[in-house]
Structure 1
Amino acid sequence: MRTGIARVLVVGCLVLGASACADDAPEASQLTAGAPRAEFYTPPVESVPGPHGSVITAQPLTGSRAVPGARNTLVLYRSVDAHGQTVAVSGTLAVPEGTPPEGGWPLISWAPGTNGVADVCAPSRTESASPGRDEQARWIAKGYAVARTDYQGLGTPGEHGYLIGDTEQRAMTDIATAAREVDPSVGSRWLAMGHSQGGHAALFAAGAAGAWAPGSPLLGAVALAPASHLGEQVRMAKWAVSNPLGKLGVGDISVYLPLLVRGAQTVSEVDPGRFLTDRAVSLLPVVDSECTAGLRDEGKWGGLSPRDVFTKEGDLSALLRVLDDNDPSGLQFDTPVLVLQGRSDRTVPPQSTDAMVAQQQMRGQSVDYRTYDDVDHSGIVAASFADVLRWVDTRFGITR
């Protein structure tokens, strides 16, 4: 049934897109102001071992990267990579100003959309206004604390497991745990939320958070335009190489393919030389230094068609195994899930999300699916906010 539904997908573009003081707050040595940024993201090796979800260090965050109306903290915390090794992960925590409600501020763990796999692409490392800051500010204004992960290997040592569900959800869940150590005014209950790549992460958090962090009650997950059926989309792009439809979906397929390759290489031996053209292989290192905006350049991946990328007889099996293994369509959820999709989305094809939700609902999963006419990929966050707020408030038992 999975293959039957996925095969009807049209060829679309790939996805892709001062702490409070208390006895259990971080020690003074953990909360340091003014640390050099490069030094902050690369902690001493001996400081990394420890329980996942615990804090390595933290410092106040100010300026354009801070969320208005909140106390903002830059956090370095512990998670576990795909090979079982403890790693440092960066992220931010924004907590509303004022007195928290009984039980502490309700927490949203926000997973960002695609920025790239190079360290400079980590959302918390941007020099200008932080990506997603407006979205976080909306939730702060409604009385929610927001923790946002940079994901494993994005800004910190190691490789970023782009669209690898297990490592995404661990980073997302572990920052929710770390948030309470950074600021004890944050409550223990939390909700997973994300857009695009982050929507993919939120779905995997819904499928695994109970087992990964049983002491952190997950109340639900919100996935806005989440990535799914990537294996099928890559198969169809490869098929287009020897078909007249090969000119369709040129830009984004090319831009996101190197990110998928790098992500897959974090969990499996994927040799891009087995399916990429010489030209594409020569451009692959660009992804290690450029973010998505740079990859779109006509002289880089943005100027390549499927015929420029794939060899006709290439062997995609290793890459496809990883993509299929990380398709959220087959996840089992222990908590309610809300999925939202714009019908005019040209980045995450609506047909892909339709198929994913259909597969989940046919297995009896608790998935609430809402679509929005004339809303594109970036617009879905703002267009659905009122609906999402009501749904999230219900999970936390909040009335307005």
Structure 2
Amino acid sequence: MPVRLPIRRGFASFLRRGTLAGALTLCTTLGLTAAPATAETLTSGQLSGVELLDAAWSFGEAATSLGLTYGTVDQRDAPARASAGLYLPPGLPPLGGWPLVVWAHGTIGIGNDCAPSHRPQSERNRSYFNQILDNGYAVLAPDYQGLGTGGNFSYYNTDVEAHSILDAVTAVRSLPIPLSAKWVLVGQSEGAHAVMSAASLYNRSGGAAPGLSGVIATGLRSNPAKSLREMFRRSSTGSDNQVGYAGYYLASLEDRHPGSVAPYLSEFGTRFVDKAATACLSDLVATAAGQRPAALVADPDRPTPTFETDLVDLVGYQEDGLPTDLMIGYGTADIDVPPTDTPTYATTLQSLNPGVRITLNEYAGKDHSGAFLASLPDALSFLNTHLH
């Protein structure tokens, strides 16, 4: 298990005197202690803890992997803790610090034990981020509030995702680690929604986390109310993961408005949504035994009486006033998040945001994960343009 290192003034001086890993080891040896801050006493973006992450949870090209704990807000706008991983590339930082990529992860679950920074990385993510790190970029990866710090994550909650990301950037700036002033957001699937949420909040956040200079979103669900309504129909097709996504959405909607979902679930749906609160995606999908989202509700044509309204309330973000350039990527063979509306959505965003450049990249024949990997050369080009 990793050793948790509380923050205190001595920590910074140790980091300045030697290598990062050596300094952390020295901190551990000396047994530095400090009174831990409670969630109620933490301010948003306040760093409260650092740990060395197990190499099994990291990327092969990361020279140093740290876990961070910091203050943010939860789905009820109450002070809360969140966690993140910070992965540094090998070698010495360039003048101005390592250019910073902020990674927003896709669906992994909403239970506390699903935090990506404390689980082995997927083969897909290792392939992608080993190349990002090998190109000299540091990677900051928020877990989203509720994952890894107790409680449950409010799935696809615009405010939770946005604050988790912006507060993580603020928190990492308080470490004496040389990182560039500019940073770029990269998100896949649910993470694509998260980076759009963070970009939407950015201009309204009162100057929090300055330096955002680009956004990359792949596998973006561009019209959740429409696509999810279709996903619940008896005739719907798609990946096996869709029943897991549906379970997490329903759990999040019920948490947000108690009584808005539970009375309309089937017997199977009641058990499944209850299990969704703790089970990570692959385990949750396995328990469905091939059943589709339609099996979760009594009336697949009307999952709940206020389904679309509640979804828009949960996932909606401001689409005009984007603060920086945006790259959207999608695979034509994506059956997890069908890209039917993606080209039209990119055109709409460009009309709403004439002051920034919105690029749409199609990856022919690629599925949900395949498009993410196929986007890497375009992403590296985007990062080079927007971080150097």
Fold-level match, TM-score > 0.5? Answer: yes
Structure 1 letter corresponding to 2:225: G
* CA 358–270 in structure 1, closer or farther in 2 if over 3 Å, else same: farther
1:76 corresponds to which of 69, 77, 88: 69
- The answer to whether the 8 Å contact 1:250/1:305 transfers is no
- The answer to whether the 8 Å contact 1:109/1:147 transfers is yes
Runs of 4+ in 1 over 4 A off after TM superposition: 31-34, 127-131
1:178 corresponds to which of 158, 171, 182: 171
1:333 corresponds to which of 322, 328, 331: 322
- Aligned equivalents of 1:208, 1:309: Cα separation in 2: 33
2:253 corresponds to which of 246, 264, 272: 264
- In structure 2, the partner of 1:229 is 223
Partner deviation per Cα, 1:189-229 (whole Å, 9 max, x = no partner): 21111111111111111211233244521111110112232
- Aligned equivalents of 2:116, 2:268: Cα separation in 1: 30
> Higher relative CO (CA 8 A, sep ≥ 6), structure 1 or 2?
1
- In structure 2, the partner of 1:166 is 159
- In structure 1, the partner of 2:7 is none
- The answer to whether the 8 Å contact 2:128/2:376 transfers is no
The CA RMSD over aligned residues, in Å, is 3.0
- In structure 1, the partner of 2:310 is 322
Partner deviation per Cα, 1:87-126 (whole Å, 9 max, x = no partner): 1111110122332222221111101111011112111121
- Aligned equivalents of 2:366, 2:318: Cα separation in 1: 23
- In structure 2, the partner of 1:4 is none
Is residue 50 of structure 1 aligned with residue 42 of structure 2? yes
- Aligned equivalents of 2:142, 2:247: Cα separation in 1: 22
1:190 corresponds to which of 183, 187, 204: 183
- Aligned equivalents of 2:132, 2:121: Cα separation in 1: 21
- In structure 1, the partner of 2:364 is 373
Structure 1 letter corresponding to 2:50: A
Structure 1 residue 331: Cα displacement: 4.8
- Aligned equivalents of 2:69, 2:161: Cα separation in 1: 16
Structure 1 letter corresponding to 2:110: V
* CA 101–346 in structure 1, closer or farther in 2 if over 3 Å, else same: same
- Aligned equivalents of 2:86, 2:144: Cα separation in 1: 14
Is residue 351 of structure 1 aligned with residue 334 of structure 2? no
Structure 2: gaps (5+ residues): 1-10, 30-34
* CA 321–102 in structure 1, closer or farther in 2 if over 3 Å, else same: same
- Aligned equivalents of 2:239, 2:364: Cα separation in 1: 25
- Aligned equivalents of 1:47, 1:262: Cα separation in 2: 24
Q: Paired residues, what number?
A: 362
Aligned partner of residue 182 in structure 1, secondary structure: coil
- In structure 1, the partner of 2:82 is 89
Aligned partner of residue 281 in structure 1, secondary structure: helix
Is residue 303 of structure 1 aligned with residue 290 of structure 2? yes
TM-score (structure 2 length as normaliser): 0.83
Structure 1: gaps (5+ residues): 1-17, 35-42
Query: What are the residue-to-residue correspondences of 1:73-222 with 2, within 5 Å?
Result: 73-126=66-119, 132-212=125-205, 213-222=207-216
* CA 307–393 in structure 1, closer or farther in 2 if over 3 Å, else same: closer
* CA 118–190 in structure 1, closer or farther in 2 if over 3 Å, else same: same
Partner deviation per Cα, 1:132-160 (whole Å, 9 max, x = no partner): 33322221111111000111101212320
Structure 1 residue 261: Cα displacement: 1.6
Structure 2 letter corresponding to 1:66: S
* CA 57–358 in structure 1, closer or farther in 2 if over 3 Å, else same: same
- In structure 2, the partner of 1:360 is 349
Partner deviation per Cα, 1:317-348 (whole Å, 9 max, x = no partner): 44422322314584531211111111111111
Structure 1 residue 73: Cα displacement: 0.6
- The answer to whether the 8 Å contact 1:255/1:302 transfers is no
Structure 1 residue 307: Cα displacement: 4.4
1:383 corresponds to which of 367, 374, 377: 374
- The answer to whether the 8 Å contact 1:115/1:121 transfers is yes
* CA 270–333 in structure 1, closer or farther in 2 if over 3 Å, else same: farther
- Aligned equivalents of 2:191, 2:179: Cα separation in 1: 22
TM-score (structure 1 length as normaliser): 0.81
* CA 363–331 in structure 1, closer or farther in 2 if over 3 Å, else same: closer
1:289 corresponds to which of 278, 286, 289: 278
- The answer to whether the 8 Å contact 2:83/2:143 transfers is yes
- In structure 2, the partner of 1:40 is none
Structure 1 residue 310: Cα displacement: 2.3
- Aligned equivalents of 1:393, 1:129: Cα separation in 2: 25
- Aligned equivalents of 1:352, 1:70: Cα separation in 2: 40
- Aligned equivalents of 2:145, 2:311: Cα separation in 1: 18
